[in-house]
Amino acid sequence: MPRRFRRAVALGGKRTTEEGQRPMEETARSSKREYMRRWRSDPAHQAQERERRLERYYDRKLRILSDDGETRTEACPDGLCGFCHRLPSITEVQRLVVSGMGKDGYVPILVPYCGTC
C-alpha cells in the first residue's frame, strides 16, 4: 500500500512587498527561473555541461573496469563465500572476467563458493 504524504501548510500569510504586489517568494522564484533558462540556453554553457557529463560518465566507466573482478574475491580473505560474503566457502568455482589479456577478452578466476547461494 503506497504511503500518502500531506502537503505542508505554512503558518501565517505570505509576505508581500509594501506596494501590495506579488509575494516576494514568487518574484524571487521567477527571477531565478528566468536566469537558469538564459544560462541553459547559452551554447557555451551547454558545451560545458556536455563535457562535464561525458567526463563523469568515463570516470565511472574506468572505475568499474579497473576492478577486474578481483575485488569480490579479495573482499573475503578469511574463507567466506565470494558471492554472499556470509557463509564459509566449501569449494571454488571458476568465473570469467572481462580482460584484454585473455583468450577472447576473458580471463578465468576462481571464486570461493558456499554451495547455497
Residue 6: C-alpha distances to residues 1, 30, 84, 87 (Å) = 16, 25, 40, 44
User: How many residues are recorded in the chain?
Assistant: 117
Q: Around Cβ 88, how many Cβ atoms within 10 Å?
A: 12
Are 46 and 74 found together in one domain? Answer: no
Residue 56 belongs to domain spanning: 24-65
Are 93 and 80 found together in one domain? Answer: yes
Please indicate, yes or no, if residue 96 is contained in any of the structural domains.
yes
Are 34 and 49 found together in one domain? Answer: yes
- Residue 8's pLDDT is 53
- Residue 64's pLDDT is 76
- Residue 71's pLDDT is 47
Are 75 and 61 found together in one domain? Answer: no
Are 48 and 74 found together in one domain? Answer: no
Cα–Cα dist 1/19, whole Å:
48
Please indicate, yes or no, if residue 1 is contained in any of the structural domains.
no
Q: Which helix or strand (DSSP H or E) is residue 91 part of?
A: strand 91-98
- Residue 73's pLDDT is 45
3 state SS of 47: helix
Average pLDDT per 10 consecutive residues for the chain, totaling 117 residues: 54 54 79 94 94 90 68 60 85 84 79 87
Q: Convert 8-25 to b/e letters by CB count within 10 Å (16 or more is b).
A: eeeeeeeeeeeeeeeeee
Are 75 and 90 found together in one domain? Answer: yes
